Chains A and B, each alone.
Chain A
Amino acid sequence: MAFNNFRILQHPVLGEKKNGKEVRIFLDGLPIHAVEGEPIAAALYAAGVRITRLSPHKKEPRGAFCMIGRCTECCMIVDGEPNVRTCRTMVRDGMRVETPRGWME
């Protein structure tokens, strides 16, 4: 697979990773490879992308913090819908994901 080394293909306990179907999502317009069945935030990590949004006031970079849908740090704009928790939203081929850039002040 044309994936970088953030993906754990071999694991001493879990064994070999089954190849899921490859899909393509767009992060702020740029294509990223992802695997069907994984959440957006995970696909971003696999691509080496850690920033999920800029904070509302100070516009500081933020990234996924809990990965189970509780902290809301991973909220992004997905297919035009704001505040989508990307750690709990699965990728879909052609999905458009945008990085929120804080509130306009």
Chain B
Amino acid sequence: MQGKTGSESWQEVWDKSVNGPRALIDCWQEIPCDPCQEACAQGSIVLSSGICAPPALHAETCNGCGKCVAICPGMAIFLVDRSIGSGLARVTVPYEMRDEIRLGGEAWAVDGEGNYLAEGRITRVSGAGRPGRTMLLTIEVPEEWALKVRGVRGRRKLLEEPEEVEAIEAVEDFAFCRCEEIDYSRLREIITQGEFRSLPALRRFSRAGLGYCQGRFCQSILRSQFLADCPEEDREVESFRVRAPVRPVKLSRLGGEDG
């Protein structure tokens, strides 16, 4: 039988998880990634057509070993286990954060947006104390959250909302080039006056991009401002020249007097 991708497989995971843990995969974009398929000894994860296909799960054959959970670079695979009954489910999530979470302790189960779902007991911790390994945490939550849990958190304080403030008026002027400190207003003036119709000419005149960093930082900004302010029909193409050295170098070395 063909496996299912994304949330289509979740119903099956829900059904089969009464027998023990099953993998719940929350990865449905076409991205170039396949370690989950490689990791699964059961052959339960299959990418149908090449490395960009989203992973499809065979919930029947998955034995809940968790290998795919620990290796997934997107941290997008979880285990759902409803075999304990009494309206509870155990959800296993990959974990690489700092909050100290201990076996037997309580933690928060959160959804994909970080919203609190439930407080639950941590029933299993694997890979702890081994930096470089991804920890797997298992948390016990009411069954209705089983498919929603995406993370486990210590009781870290929640972020406060940013404050809304009065809109500020005119944009203050600012240095556009970090080295030569050319003002933004000055630069736009130069461009819109239309005297300089190519980037190299603009750079030579304004000196923006000719400072100590040699434009390695401001070049892309200069370019987008030029494209925004200089009408297309006025632009001239001028070849772009680069001179050595491409990194600042001590004058004493170039002078060679001390070798």
Direct touch of chains A and B (CB < 8 A): yes
Q: Which of B132, B179, B211, B213 contacts A15 (CB 8 A)?
A: B132
**Residues of B contacting A73 in the complex (Cβ-Cβ under 8 angstroms):** 178
Q: Number of contacting residues on B, CB 8 A? A: 18
Q: Which of A57, A58, A70, A81 contacts B217 (CB 8 A)?
A: A70
**Residues of B contacting A31 in the complex (Cβ-Cβ under 8 angstroms):** none
Given the known interface contacts A70-B216, A75-B212, A83-B212, the answer about A12 and B178 at a Cβ–Cβ threshold of 8 Å is no
Given the known interface contacts A55-B175, A60-B175, A72-B213, the answer about A13 and B132 at a Cβ–Cβ threshold of 8 Å is yes
CB of B97 within 8 Å of the partner chain:
yes
**Residues of B contacting A10 in the complex (Cβ-Cβ under 8 angstroms):** 98
A12 pairs with B181, CB closer than 8 A: no
- Scan A37-59; emit 1 where CB is below 8 A from any B CB, else 0: 00000000000000000011110
Given the known interface contacts A56-B181, A66-B217, A72-B179, the answer about A13 and B96 at a Cβ–Cβ threshold of 8 Å is yes
Q: Number of contacting residues on A, CB 8 A? A: 24
In the complex the two chains form, what is the Cα distance from A14 to B96 in whole Å?
10
Q: Which of A15, A16, A62, A69 contacts B247 (CB 8 A)?
A: A69
CB of B85 within 8 Å of the partner chain:
no
B175 pairs with A71, CB closer than 8 A: no
**Residues of A contacting B248 in the complex (Cβ-Cβ under 8 angstroms):** 72, 83, 85
User: Can you report 17 A-B residue pairs in the complex whose CB atoms are below 8 A from each other?
Assistant: A10-B98, A11-B98, A11-B131, A13-B131, A55-B175, A56-B179, A58-B181, A60-B175, A62-B178, A66-B217, A70-B217, A70-B247, A71-B216, A72-B211, A83-B212, A83-B248, A85-B248
